[in-house]
Structure 1
Amino acid sequence: MRAAVVRSFDHAPRYEEFPAPGPAEGRLPVEMVAAGLHPRVRSGASGTHYTSDGRLPLVPGVDGVGRLPDGHLVYFVADDEAPGTMAEQALVDPRRSVPLPDGADPVTIAAAVNPAMSSWVALRRRITFRAGQSVLVLGATGNAGRAAVQIARHLGAARIVAAGRDPRRLDLLPGLGATDVVSLAGDPDQDFARLGEAAADVDVVIDYTWGAPTERAVPAVLTRRADRSAPLAWIQIGSLAGPEITLPSAWLRAADLRFMGSGQGSVTARGIVAELPSLMAEITRGTVTADAVPVPLSQVEEAWTAPVEPGRRIVLTMAAG
Structure 2
Amino acid sequence: MRAALVRTFGTPPRCEEVGPPPAPGPGDVLVDVLAAGLHPRVRSAADGSHYTSRGELPLVPGIDGVGRTEEGELLYFVAPDTALGTLAERALVDRRRAVPLPAGTDPLAVAAGMNPAMSSWVALRRRVDFAPGSSVLVLGATGNAGRLAVQVARGLGAARVVGAGRDPHRLGLLDALGAEPLDLRGEEHEVAGRLGAAAGDVDVVLDYLWGAPAERAVPALLTARTDRSRPLTWIQLGSVAGPELTLPSAWLRAGALSFVGSGQGSVTTAGIVAELPALAEEIVSGRLDVRPVARPLARVHEVWGEEVAAGERVVLVP
Same fold? TM cut 0.5: yes
Residues 139 and 163 in structure 1, CA contact (< 8 A), matched pair in contact too: yes
- Measure, in 2, the Cα distance between the counterparts of 1:185 and 1:13: 35
TM-score (norm 1): 0.96
**Equivalent residue number for residue 261 of structure 2:** 261
Structure 1, unmatched stretches of 5+, are none
Give the CA deviation at 1:301: 0.8
Residues 206 and 234 in structure 1, CA contact (< 8 A), matched pair in contact too: yes
Give the CA deviation at 1:81: 2.4
- Measure, in 2, the Cα distance between the counterparts of 1:39 and 1:138: 17
Percent of aligned positions that are identical = 63
- Measure, in 2, the Cα distance between the counterparts of 1:39 and 1:97: 21
Displaced runs of 4+ in structure 1, greater than 3 A?
A: none
**Equivalent residue number for residue 284 of structure 2:** 284
Q: 1:271 to 1:82 in 2, by over 3 A?
A: farther
Q: Give 3-state SS (helix, strand or coil) of 1:292's partner.
A: strand
- Measure, in 2, the Cα distance between the counterparts of 1:307 and 1:82: 26
**Equivalent residue number for residue 204 of structure 2:** 204
TM-score (norm 2): 0.97
Give the CA deviation at 1:185: 2.5
Residues 97-176 of structure 1 aligned to structure 2 (within 5 Å) = 97-176=98-177
Is 2:50 aligned against 1:49?
yes
Give the CA deviation at 1:24: 4.5
- Measure, in 2, the Cα distance between the counterparts of 1:72 and 1:63: 16
Question: For residue 301 of structure 1, what is the amino acid of its counterpart?
Answer: H
Q: Give 3-state SS (helix, strand or coil) of 1:220's partner.
A: helix
RMSD: 1.1
- Measure, in 1, the Cα distance between the counterparts of 2:24 and 2:188: 53
Give the CA deviation at 1:273: 1.0
Residues 177-188 of structure 1 aligned to structure 2 (within 5 Å) = 177-178=178-179, 180-188=180-188
**Equivalent residue number for residue 220 of structure 1:** 220
Q: Give 3-state SS (helix, strand or coil) of 2:316's partner.
A: strand
Q: Give 3-state SS (helix, strand or coil) of 1:172's partner.
A: coil
Q: Deviations over 1:108-138 (max 9, x none)?
A: 0000000001101111111111111100000
Give the CA deviation at 1:267: 0.8
Which segment drifts farther, 55-64 or 78-87?
78-87
**Equivalent residue number for residue 270 of structure 2:** 270
- Measure, in 1, the Cα distance between the counterparts of 2:148 and 2:128: 18
**Equivalent residue number for residue 65 of structure 2:** 64
**Equivalent residue number for residue 12 of structure 2:** 12
Give the CA deviation at 1:291: 0.9
Q: Give 3-state SS (helix, strand or coil) of 2:71's partner.
A: coil
Structure 2, unmatched stretches of 5+, are none
Is 2:311 aligned against 1:311?
yes
Q: Deviations over 1:270-309 (max 9, x none)?
A: 1111111111111112211111100111111111122211
- Measure, in 2, the Cα distance between the counterparts of 1:21 and 1:102: 26
Question: For residue 249 of structure 1, what is the amino acid of its counterpart?
Answer: S
Q: Deviations over 1:81-126 (max 9, x none)?
A: 2511000111111100011134321000000000001101111111
Residues 134 and 204 in structure 1, CA contact (< 8 A), matched pair in contact too: yes
Q: Give 3-state SS (helix, strand or coil) of 1:305's partner.
A: coil
Residues 209 and 240 in structure 1, CA contact (< 8 A), matched pair in contact too: yes
Residues 8 and 58 in structure 2, CA contact (< 8 A), matched pair in contact too: yes
Q: Deviations over 1:130-180 (max 9, x none)?
A: 1111000000011110001001111111110100111111111110110x2
**Equivalent residue number for residue 22 of structure 2:** 22
**Equivalent residue number for residue 88 of structure 1:** 89
Q: Give 3-state SS (helix, strand or coil) of 2:220's partner.
A: helix
Residues 58 and 83 in structure 2, CA contact (< 8 A), matched pair in contact too: no
Q: Give 3-state SS (helix, strand or coil) of 1:298's partner.
A: helix
- Measure, in 2, the Cα distance between the counterparts of 1:5 and 1:81: 13
Is 2:196 aligned against 1:189?
no
Is 2:267 aligned against 1:295?
no
Residues 183 and 191 in structure 1, CA contact (< 8 A), matched pair in contact too: yes
Q: Deviations over 1:177-235 (max 9, x none)?
A: 10x21111332331232112110000000000111111001111011101000000100
